[in-house]
Structure 1
Amino acid sequence: MKRAFSALPALLLVATLSGCATSWVVDSDVKSFSSIDTVPAGATYRFERLPSQQANGERQASLEAMAAAALEQVGLRRDDANPRYTAQISARVTTTLSPWADPWLWDGPFGYGYGYGYGPYGYGRRWYGGGWYGAPMIPQASNPWYEREVGVVLRELGSNRVVYETRARNDGPYTSSAAVLPVMFQAALQGFPKPPEGVRRVNIELPTAKKQQ
């Protein structure tokens, strides 16, 4: 669900995901750049970290595990001893005010959101009375809204040339980054190594149960 959509379609989608729904869709806007036509069978890589990522080793390792599953799906195998490429992984999660919030309704508590990876801390209004924190239902207008972005940069070892760069963005009311971020990495790598040009929408369906993890 994107802010560019009107409120009515967004509400209809939320309603579809409630009740007896058994699946839900993570919709990501993806933009990729590639300078390679093919990747050798069994191509290998190792992860590369920026200094800021090295300082948050446990968090970065979690992100890399998510990305590794997506990289494997497109034919890239992790091999720290004999890599052909390096892979730099990034992710950001920011909590903001829901686009459905009524600016005149200021009652209720506030809460902090957090940045995942090396994203900034966000400040957003929280609703503690159910909604997406409880049973699936149409979220309250004051519920927090999550803006997420993931990125993958592949460099060819030896030349240190960037051969692939891709980013995926998603926003919505879903609280579980542990479920959403792996799917966004899959979306970011869709079409590898020759993705379509320009921004494209990639929809991936997941079981509803994962939304509440």
Structure 2
Amino acid sequence: MIRVLLADDEVIVRAGVKAILAATPDIEVVAEAGDGHEALELARVHRPDVALLDVRMPVLDGLAAAAEFRRAAPDVAVVMLTTFAEDEYIAAALDSGASGFLLKSGDPYELMAAVRAVHGGAAFLSPEAARRVISLLNGGVMTRQAAARERIAALTAREREVLALVGTGLSNAEIGERLFLVEGTVKVYVSTMLSRLGLKNRVQAAVLAYQAGLVEE
């Protein structure tokens, strides 16, 4: 069972998201919060696997809360929920250490898929967010391909293979199946790769994989 903490200052939104997740046999909402500070306090008590955080909340917004989760509860995978698709929110979510980014207007299936993906160690961007990231890459706002390729040059061939598969959104178990490695070995490769590249999470690794041309659009 995947234990989820849900944080949103709009009660109706929380009720809707909870209803969607309650319809799945493998996901349980164990706590609800109205702001980021409360979410952090409840996380210490309920120890969720995944935290769904609204970007805009009082007291402590979702982006600040996500950064605090990364420091205080690194085992909790964070997915950002928002009604906004502006580039600054997507970029800030990536920088905050979030493993996923969803629009509230998206398909309910995306919500369930995101929870399962980040719980499995993968990253998840909604289609709209993914399009914006790719647009930024193509527009040269983020690091250009040449710089990205130079950045990954220090990786071993196997680490580059792992990075490419992380870029496609595969979990550690799925990468292991592709490369004929045990899941624990893949986890070590991913951890080492993130550390060597100075990346905070798999979402940033996926972005770099696209920038370096390891994953086709």
- Please, what TM-score do these two structures have when normalized by structure 2? 0.25
- Please, what TM-score do these two structures have when normalized by structure 1? 0.25
Q: Which has the higher strand share?
A: 1
Q: Kindly name which structure, 1 or 2, has the bigger radius of gyration based on alpha carbons.
A: 1
Q: Which has the higher helix share?
A: 2
Structure possessing the higher relative contact order (Cα contacts under 8 Å, 6 or more residues apart): 1
